[in-house]
Structure 1
């Protein structure tokens, strides 16, 4: 069933044309991701779909009566309302019923009002809905319903807006970078939620694992053209590569034909016949086709790094705490040359504070940070670039000099450097305030790297960057010979570039884990399964001490059902391990298209098997609990 159709929409800002005459449709239960470079108009398309903005031409046709929710990058919420009031401010009928019921509970003497509220809860089947929405709030760490929105952080506001969107269960949910400001636990929960729910999604996200596991269609806006791929991220990569290869073949043929026609043009006499004029027109068409160049600028980061001495950075018994929140407790660590460390942990465990202490912007309560004489930090913070009124892109770079030193004694001008960071000559003279969020982040990243650091500290560098830029950044970081310390919620990014992790558990507990993020998840899941098995064993021992009469009356499962129940647990555990193993394989950049397709099919089959067996396990467990 078609929910929304986009027909030939275009959008321009002055002389800048973002896109023109693009068309596509959104059908029920589709989970579509839009991929495009920063500055291509992704957010503008989402604004047009949601009705927040209008296109210059074309039209949007939506099915009558459908509810559309839009999660913006920067949600517009009423700061005067509480979290609970924000949730109940929507036009969702079931939420109104729940609100009336909760008000009736506060006034038990009004029996008629309570009875009406109770009957409405029954009529709308609101009991399950209430459980679901409270679970969503709990998962998104929004337990305090009475706090005012104006007192929330940017991340908390984003999570509240996301909760609102999920709770309202719209017919079409439009999402702009839904994983931004979520910690890894929340991202994985949201991933599982979307994968199992029959929801229609249209999203922009840079999280490639999220694209892989949630989306069933990818739409790519590339050089003004729209390409559709009916599959997940792996399928998109495979088919895009095939398309580019075909375009390269056609380009080569066009060049050969152009040379042939050029020879003919040079041999033409001045007096031309009607037939030759027709051929001349064809020649100009061929010339235009042959001279087309794909704007696939690859950033070549060849910046020279200053030499590092034997002493890098030493942390001696560092302690730091805030009121009722210990961050570090006598933490010690000596960084070695070429170390690549990722930092993970829930929001509020002190990851950014740790980076600030290391870079000297925040002082520890006690302990000492010893920095080697040759160490030069490059610190990319979440705050981003400071915009100065009237400043142009080229001016931002020239603050650091007109020329940047490169390897082998070479140098590059500020203009050439910007071109390598995907800013063409025309874009370089745009005002910084006109740049998209992703373009500003790209410019800021450039300003950090050109300062020639040998110790890079990156705090959420992947937020708002498009996938093309992410691949470029990853390639650079893989070649970077200095020390690297990075905080990121992008699991694909972390898997690719770090060798070990600092796991911030909270309450000043920091674990040094020898592996990347997927290794850590496998380890954590195995621990969970082991703990579960230990508890089950303990319960079995306890049950054997009960009399046969108690055992007989306490359980309603037959012997065969009990055997099936235990077997299902083993099978689910085995399938989960296989699922993790396959997911980890997707991080291998050397996989061929056929291998990716096979892995995708295997992953789908295993996921379906897990869901089927888990459903049966729940049925049996409910009987045991009764």
Structure 2
């Protein structure tokens, strides 16, 4: 039985027709991804299903008398309706502490969900704490709230926007376990692949259905496009052939009529009648073929719609020098929170490096130090004089929204202005809109304009902080395709795993955020119990806490290694202290010869030469070795013998670390 049915839904905003007969059915346990370009009406349809907007035409039929719908909003809030009547709304930042305690203190589902996603004892938070929520915290609270309302249908509008990898994986698991139906509006391809069994594409106000996840949808959409294109080209070929026959028959008919008249003049009406009959027969054939051609043109397969192109094109950068960025012994703290501690790193020309870590670990802070907006507390960040950096921030704070699109072109040298107009046109900004101020565009459009600026500047170093946040799926994939061809260096912060996997062959991984007391904080929301401390390896180093490690290879394998490390801690099977010390004395440098700081060979003994089994030096050595081995593990596949050797050592070290802590 269908949980709900949308029947020929229509909705206009002024003269703009957003929905033009959209039809949509949903069974009680389906997980559906609703996709389409920005502005196509996805959120409008979700609001009509939820009941907060009335359609101009059509209707929504619900399958139950008391259907409970939970709706996670893009802005980090949520609503719950029962047959169009609001029964719950959250979160009010201005609410006092007692309000939150009453709402959530006894709600066991909320408490369990909040803890699972990394929000510890949220029911004890003060009103001031609620008033200063980050985007990620607001999203997590809303998720916990909407889950605890026990809905029959969940509508999730961009639920992963502010979640880190651990939070996204948690959400994937919760969606899989949820017994009701789910409608997901998302531009996160990984999340859609892991969560949905059907894709509903909204285009030109109507819905097309595809079974399977996002990857299957792309494959099937391409297959349908190619099939329709083949049929269309075959129809065009047949029509051209028929049109040629009609032209020939018309010529023959006209010739027959002329011959009939000439014959009548020369030999009387006998021959005239013969040629007249022949000409009329050809006339009938012409009319028949014209009718066939009209039917083919009316009923034939039309040319399939091509997706609107959004084209990015960067200039090939120069190749002078090797390193564009080099950080040496960099440390950075905010009050008692230590984000980076004695970290050394570098970025070479041509490398695309992903910055990876949980929310709040310091990714954006590191970028701000690189571009000079902030300074390290200790250490130095060197930028090559030949570096031409282009920076794209998360919130567009570097963009003057009072500027017009044409002003961006006007700031360029005269020789580049024609090309700039062409680039803007390729990105969807025609002559009729370039006089508008940036404030009149959506955030996705502003992001594309800001990317256009980087193209115009001829950057050889791109620093992109969540560049896909406001881009639709087509724009994301086009940006990916362009960056694959880009020959310059890149630093990329993104929660889009598919983009990271496709573009990055190396990663700088943040291994921990430490308070000044010296204890390493658990990564919030990881769910694996792993305490992340300092790291070293691959030409990078870090002191105690707030470390960076350089990982070569697959991000997915790195994340799998982290999960394996968490499992090793839970198993709590480790070596003796003698074995630990033997491991401590056997640490090796990176096989690439780039060196590491704080490896197992550094110390581990007290002043009298005896092993300091429980001292901070040995704990630091264990943490360094763990971080190093995790980096090495990502280079191998689970079928490789080296993988199992490293995995065994990791299991032993994780158990040893837990005993020390």
Question: Structure 1 residue 467 and structure 2 residue 447: aligned?
Answer: no
* Cα 1:144–1:468 shift into 2, 3 Å: farther
Find the residue that maps to 1:152 and give its secondary structure: coil
Q: Structure 2 residue aligned with 1:238, among 219, 225, 248?
A: 219
Find the residue that maps to 2:125 and give its secondary structure: coil
Deviations 1:92-111 (A, max 9, x none): xxx6xx75xxxxxxxxxxxx
Matched residues in 2 for 1:449 and 1:143: separation? 48
Question: Structure 1 residue 369 and structure 2 residue 384: aligned?
Answer: no
Match runs of 1:261-276 below 5 Å: 262-263=243-244
What is aligned with 2:172? 191
Match runs of 1:29-40 below 5 Å: 29-40=29-40
Q: Structure 1 residue aligned with 2:558, among 516, 520, 530?
A: 520
Question: Structure 1 residue 132 and structure 2 residue 115: aligned?
Answer: no
Task: Report if aligned partners of 1:307, 1:454 keep a CA contact under 8 Å in 2.
Answer: no
Find the residue that maps to 1:468 and give its secondary structure: helix
What is aligned with 1:175? 156
* Cα 1:151–1:388 shift into 2, 3 Å: same
TM-score by length of 2: 0.68
What is aligned with 2:585? none
Task: Report if aligned partners of 1:87, 1:164 keep a CA contact under 8 Å in 2.
Answer: no
Matched residues in 1 for 2:215 and 2:407: separation? 37
Find the residue that maps to 2:492 and give its secondary structure: strand
Task: Report if aligned partners of 2:235, 2:296 keep a CA contact under 8 Å in 1.
Answer: no
Matched residues in 2 for 1:243 and 1:454: separation? 39
Matched residues in 1 for 2:204 and 2:120: separation? 37
Find the residue that maps to 1:450 and give its secondary structure: helix
Task: Report if aligned partners of 1:380, 1:459 keep a CA contact under 8 Å in 2.
Answer: yes
Question: Structure 1 residue 506 and structure 2 residue 513: aligned?
Answer: yes
Matched residues in 2 for 1:477 and 1:141: separation? 42
Which one has a bigger Cα radius of gyration?
Answer: 2
What is aligned with 1:444? 450
Matched residues in 2 for 1:49 and 1:390: separation? 37
Give, in angstroms, the shift of residue 305 of structure 1: 2.9
Q: Structure 2 residue aligned with 1:285, among 298, 301, 305?
A: 298
Deviations 1:426-464 (A, max 9, x none): 665666445444333333333333322111111112223
Give, in angstroms, the shift of residue 390 of structure 1: 7.5
Question: Structure 1 residue 211 and structure 2 residue 192: aligned?
Answer: yes
Task: Report if aligned partners of 2:229, 2:304 keep a CA contact under 8 Å in 1.
Answer: no
* Cα 1:349–1:386 shift into 2, 3 Å: closer
Find the residue that maps to 1:85 and give its secondary structure: helix
Deviations 1:372-400 (A, max 9, x none): 111011111101377877865x4364255
* Cα 1:33–1:130 shift into 2, 3 Å: closer
What is aligned with 1:401? 412
What is aligned with 1:85? 99
Give, in angstroms, the shift of residue 354 of structure 1: 0.2
Question: Structure 1 residue 320 and structure 2 residue 327: aligned?
Answer: no
Q: Structure 2 residue aligned with 1:535, among 573, 578, 600?
A: 573
What is aligned with 1:560? none
What is aligned with 2:346? 334
Give, in angstroms, the shift of residue 180 of structure 1: 0.9
Question: Structure 1 residue 483 and structure 2 residue 489: aligned?
Answer: yes
What is aligned with 1:27? 27
* Cα 1:19–1:429 shift into 2, 3 Å: farther
Matched residues in 2 for 1:191 and 1:293: separation? 33
Question: Structure 1 residue 351 and structure 2 residue 363: aligned?
Answer: yes
Give, in angstroms, the shift of residue 142 of structure 1: 4.4
Find the residue that maps to 2:167 and give its secondary structure: helix
Matched residues in 2 for 1:245 and 1:515: separation? 35
Task: Report if aligned partners of 1:397, 1:447 keep a CA contact under 8 Å in 2.
Answer: yes
Match runs of 1:2-151 below 5 Å: 2-63=2-63, 64-75=65-76, 77-82=91-96, 85=99, 99=106, 129=109, 132-136=112-116, 138-139=118-119, 142=122, 145-148=125-128, 149-151=130-132
Give, in angstroms, the shift of residue 281 of structure 1: 5.0
What is aligned with 2:539? none
Task: Report if aligned partners of 1:191, 1:210 keep a CA contact under 8 Å in 2.
Answer: yes
Matched residues in 2 for 1:387 and 1:18: separation? 30
Matched residues in 2 for 1:403 and 1:327: separation? 45
Matched residues in 2 for 1:31 and 1:312: separation? 46
What is aligned with 1:591? none
Matched residues in 2 for 1:135 and 1:245: separation? 48
Matched residues in 2 for 1:87 and 1:8: separation? 44
Give the aligned length.
501
Matched residues in 2 for 1:37 and 1:218: separation? 14
Find the residue that maps to 1:442 and give its secondary structure: helix
Match runs of 1:598-609 below 5 Å: none
Q: Structure 2 residue aligned with 1:158, among 111, 117, 139?
A: 139
Deviates more, 1:446-455 or 1:372-381: 446-455
What is aligned with 1:121? none
Deviations 1:290-333 (A, max 9, x none): 56652342625253435543442222322221111112223222
* Cα 1:439–1:230 shift into 2, 3 Å: same
Give, in angstroms, the shift of residue 85 of structure 1: 3.2
Give, in angstroms, the shift of residue 225 of structure 1: 4.4
Relative contact order (alpha carbons < 8 A, sep ≥ 6): 1 or 2 greater?
1
Deviations 1:330-388 (A, max 9, x none): 32223222122111112111110000000111122232222111101111110137787
Aligned CA RMSD, in angstroms, stands at 3.5
Task: Report if aligned partners of 1:404, 1:450 keep a CA contact under 8 Å in 2.
Answer: no
Structure 2 unaligned segments of length 5 or more: list them: 78-90, 255-282, 515-545, 577-632, 639-661
Matched residues in 2 for 1:337 and 1:200: separation? 48
TM-score by length of 1: 0.71
Matched residues in 2 for 1:372 and 1:88: separation? 57
